Structure 1
Amino acid sequence: MRRLVSPVVLANMAVVALLFLLPLLVSSFWIGNIFGRSLAYGIVALSLTFLATYGGFVSLAQTMVAGVAGYVLAIYAPTAIPLGNYPLPWGVGIILALVAATFAGLLVGLIAVKTNDIYLLMITLALAVGFGLFAQSNTEIFNGYEGIRNIVGPELFGSSIRSPKTFYYIALTVALILYFLVVYLRKSPFGLVLQGLRDTARRVSALGYHATAHRVAAFGVAGFIAGCGGVLVTFYNMGITASSIGMGATVNVLIMCVIGGLVHPAGAFIGALLFSLLDTFAPSIYDRDRFNTLIGFVFLAVVLLSPNGVLGVMKLIRDRLDFRRHNN
Structure 2
Amino acid sequence: MSARLSLLALALLVLAPALLGLVLPPNQAQFWTANILGRALVYGIVALSLTFLATYGGFVSLAQMTLAGIAGYALAILVEGAVPGIVGGLPYAAAVPAALLAATLAGLLVGAIAVRTRDIYLLMITLALAMGVARFAESNIDWFNGYEGIRNVVGPVLFGVPFRDPHLFYYVALAAAAALYAGVLYLVRTPFGLVLQGIRDNPRRVAALGYDVSLHRIAAFGVAGFIAGCGGVLTTIYNIGISPGSIGLGASVNILIISVIGGLGHPAGAFVGSLIFAVFDTFAASLYDRDRFNTLIGLVFLGIVLASPDGIVGLARRLGGLRRPSRAGEQPAPRPAETG
Q: TM-score, normalised by structure 2?
A: 0.92
1:78 paired residue among 53, 57, 80 = 80
SS, match of residue 264 in structure 2: coil
Structure 1 equivalent of residue 221 of structure 2: 219
What residue number does 1:21 align with? 15
Alignment deviations for residues 145-192 of structure 1 (CA, whole Å, 9 cap, x no partner): 000001011011111111110000000000000000110111111011
Q: Does 1:246 align with 2:248?
A: yes
Output the amino acid matched with 2:314: G
| Range with greater deviation from structure 2 (28-37 or 75-84) | 75-84
Q: Quick one: distance in 1 between partners of 2:318 and 2:88? A: 54
Query: How big is the alpha-carbon RMSD for the aligned residues of Structure 1 and Structure 2?
Result: 1.4
Task: Give distance in 1, aligned partners of 2:50 and 2:184.
Answer: 12
5 Å-filtered alignment, 1:118-267, equals: 118-267=120-269
Q: Distance in 2 between matches of 1:308 and 1:107?
A: 29
- Say whether the 8 Å CA contact 1:77–1:87 is kept in structure 2: yes
Task: For 1:312 and 1:86, locate their aligned partners in 2 and report how far apart those are by CA, in whole Å.
Answer: 45
Aligned residues: 320
The answer to whether the Cα contact below 8 Å between 1:67 and 1:245 also exists between their aligned partners in 2 is: yes
The answer to whether the 8 Å contact 1:44/1:253 transfers is yes
Seq. identity, %: 61
Residue 314 of structure 2: aligned partner: 312
Native 8 Å contact 1:75 1:87 kept in 2: no
Shift of 1:324: 8.7
8 Å contact kept, 2:81–2:88: no
The answer (yes or no) to whether the contact 2:263–2:269 under 8 Å persists in 1 is yes
Paired residue secondary structure (2:202): helix
List alignment gaps of at least 5 residues for structure 2. Answer: 21-28, 329-340
Mean Cα deviation higher: 304-313 or 228-237: 304-313
Does residue 113 in structure 1 map to residue 107 in structure 2? no
Aligned AA (2:190): S
Q: Deviations over 1:220-277 (max 9, x none)?
A: 0000000000000000000000000000000000000000000000000000000000
**Distance in 1, Cα, partners of 2:144 & 2:126:** 21
Residue type of the partner of 1:108?
Answer: V
Aligned equivalent of 2:38, options 30, 36, 39: 36
Task: Give the SS at the match of 1:25.
Answer: helix
Distance 2:321 2:294 in 1: 33
Amino acid at match of 2:237: F
- The match for 1:50 is 52
Q: Shift of the alpha carbon at 1:18?
A: 1.7
2:223 corresponds to which letter in structure 1? V
Partner of 2:64: 62
**CA deviation map 1:259-303 (0-9, x unaligned):** 000000000000000000000000111100000000111111111
Superposition deviation, residue 325 in structure 1: 10
The corresponding residue for 2:2 is 8
Q: What is the CA distance between 1:312 and its match in structure 2?
A: 1.5
Contact map agreement 2:82 2:88 (CA 8 A) in 1: no
Q: How far apart are the structure 2 equivalents of 1:307 and 1:323? A: 24
Task: Flag structure 1 segments of 5+ consecutive residues without an equivalent.
Answer: 1-6
Tell whether the 8 Å contact from 2:138 to 2:244 is kept in structure 1 after alignment: yes
Amino acid at match of 1:263: G
- 8 Å contact 1:77–1:84 — kept in the other structure? no
